[in-house]
């Protein structure tokens, strides 16, 4: 997005740039409006109904509003929610860039940009959203270029890519500034975590582990970073287990999924994590995605008795998505007979292709 913005501004030195951001975007997405959008878009009323049910359950269980943050699916749904803004800008032949709720619009005329912002504000209000006042402005050409050309980030990226001596000191300093500054500046936090991962610098490991609930929206980058440091696995494992067992994780299903994925990816066996995984699996009020990973984790280290219990869970589970996950966990426990697999294929047609796949003896990726 920044590179494209620089290209626009360089191509026409008279361009002004309007910037806008939506206040607490994910938290203020109206699930009912989103459900209407999905119904119009989808050819399957059943699928849109199931997704709407999931979003309503998320709000009820987590005492939260809007969309859960962090997952790829949330990003796709958030983009759909702002489709009317895209449509308005495209129909008026305006040059613009958008990343989630961060929008840049380019035009020579200040008055034109002001009118565009006013219309976008009306569109947002109709969708129960509002523009962030302190992040919405119209910039003159010189100010616009200065705004998008973040010299410091560019310098840090180059230093990391080239391997300039002392780069890690500057990246650490920037990390300290970001974590002590604006807590909503997720872009800078994501940037600096990725730079530390590139440098294989474990400076932020302890901070990440101590602030898990506050960085759930960048869980993907955080756990990719943590996975780099094999020498600190024991510390990471201990803190993640404590977090799961504290009960704090229940409000952050995407974090639970990422934690279980971390344990699966590194093939970590921990009895206390198994206890947490059983609690997640057995709680049908929880979202499917942590339950799926809980079943996978249990399957990979299941005893014969535990595998029998997983089979029982499979047979009584009403959710077909979870039945698929449990069937794979039974396979990974090495307690899934060919006879039972044939029975499942015959009597549960929705799992026919899963059964055919498992019959080939695959090594199932963590995904």
Mean pLDDT of the chain: 89
Residue scoring higher pLDDT (231 or 183)? 231
Asked if 276 contacts 240 with a C-beta cutoff of 8 angstroms, the reply is: no
pLDDT one-digit tens code per residue, 147-165: 776 767 878 888 898 888 8
Mean pLDDT of 54-70: 59
As a whole number of angstroms, the distance between CA 220 and CA 74 comes to 13
H or E segment at 315? helix 304-316
- Sheet containing 137-139: give its strands across: 95-99, 102-107, 16-20, 137-139
- Cα 269 to Cα 253, 275, 301: the distances in Å are 21, 11, 7
Q: Is the pLDDT of residue 63 over 60?
A: no
At the fourth CATH level, the homologous superfamily of domain 2-148 is Reverse transcriptase/Diguanylate cyclase domain (3.30.70.270)
Domain boundary assignment for the chain = 2-148, 229-358
Q: Count of CB atoms within 10 A of residue 76's CB?
A: 10
Q: Is the pLDDT of residue 210 over 90?
A: yes
As a whole number of angstroms, the distance between CA 294 and CA 280 comes to 7
pLDDT of 337: 92
H or E segment at 4? helix 2-11
pLDDT one-digit tens code per residue, 252-309: 898 999 999 999 999 999 999 999 999 999 999 888 989 999 999 999 989 999 999 9
pLDDT one-digit tens code per residue, 326-336: 999 999 999 99
pLDDT of 62: 47
pLDDT of 92: 95
Asked if 238 contacts 246 with a C-beta cutoff of 8 angstroms, the reply is: no
Residue scoring higher pLDDT (211 or 59)? 211
Asked if 143 contacts 42 with a C-beta cutoff of 8 angstroms, the reply is: no
174: pLDDT confidence band, cut at 50, 70 and 90? very high
pLDDT one-digit tens code per residue, 105-116: 999 999 999 999
45: pLDDT confidence band, cut at 50, 70 and 90? low
H or E segment at 161? helix 151-162
User: What's the pTM value of the predicted model, to 2 decimals?
Assistant: 0.68
68: pLDDT confidence band, cut at 50, 70 and 90? low
pLDDT of 87: 96
As a whole number of angstroms, the distance between CA 115 and CA 179 comes to 36
Q: Is the pLDDT of residue 50 over 80?
A: no
Q: What percent of the chain has pLDDT over 70?
A: 91
Q: What percent of the chain has pLDDT over 90?
A: 63
pLDDT of 342: 92
pLDDT one-digit tens code per residue, 15-36: 999 999 898 888 888 888 888 8
Residue scoring higher pLDDT (235 or 56)? 235
pLDDT one-digit tens code per residue, 75-101: 888 888 999 999 999 999 999 999 888
As a whole number of angstroms, the distance between CA 152 and CA 136 comes to 23
Of the chain, the end-to-end C-alpha distance in Å amounts to 28
Q: Is the pLDDT of residue 44 over 70?
A: no
β-strand pairing of 95-99 with 16-20: unpaired
């Amino acid at each position: 997005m920044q590179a494209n913005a620089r290209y626009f501004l360089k191509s026409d030195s008279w361009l002004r740039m309007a910037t806008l951001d939506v206040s607490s975007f994910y938290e203020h997405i109206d699930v009912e409006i989103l459900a209407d959008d999905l119904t119009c878009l989808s050819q399957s009323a059943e699928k849109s109904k199931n997704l709407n049910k999931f979003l309503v359950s998320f709000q009820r269980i987590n005492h939260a509003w809007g969309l859960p943050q962090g997952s790829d699916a949330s990003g796709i749904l958030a983009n759909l929610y702002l489709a009317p803004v895209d449509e308005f800008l495209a129909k008026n032949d305006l040059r613009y860039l958008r990343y989630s709720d961060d929008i840049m619009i380019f035009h020579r005329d200040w008055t034109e940009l002001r009118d565009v912002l006013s219309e976008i504000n009306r569109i947002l209000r109709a969708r129960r959203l509002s523009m962030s006042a302190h992040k919405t402005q119209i910039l003159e050409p010189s100010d616009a270029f200065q705004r998008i050309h973040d010299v410091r980030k560019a310098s840090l990226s180059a230093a990391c890519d080239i391997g300039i001596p002392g780069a890690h000191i500057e990246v650490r300093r920037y990390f300290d500034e970001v974590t002590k500054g604006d807590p909503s500046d997720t872009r800078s936090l994501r940037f600096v975590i990725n730079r530390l991962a590139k440098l294989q610098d474990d400076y932020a490991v302890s901070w990440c582990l101590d602030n898990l609930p506050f960085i759930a929206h960048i869980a993907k980058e955080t756990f990719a970073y943590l996975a780099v440091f094999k020498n600190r696995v024991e510390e990471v494992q201990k803190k993640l287990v404590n977090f799961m067992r504290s009960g704090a994780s229940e409000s952050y299903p995407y974090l639970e999924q990422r934690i279980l994925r971390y344990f699966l990816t590194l093939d970590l066996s921990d009895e206390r994590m198994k206890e947490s995984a059983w609690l997640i699996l057995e709680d049908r009020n929880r979202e499917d995605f942590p339950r799926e990973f809980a079943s996978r984790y249990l399957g990979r280290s299941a005893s014969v008795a535990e595998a029998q219990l997983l089979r029982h869970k499979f047979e009584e589970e009403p959710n077909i998505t979870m039945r698929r996950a449990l069937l794979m966990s039974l396979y990974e426990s090495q307690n899934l007979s060919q006879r039972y697999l044939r029975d499942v294929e015959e009597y549960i047609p929705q799992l026919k292709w899963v059964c055919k796949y498992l019959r080939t003896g695959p090594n199932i990726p963590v995904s």
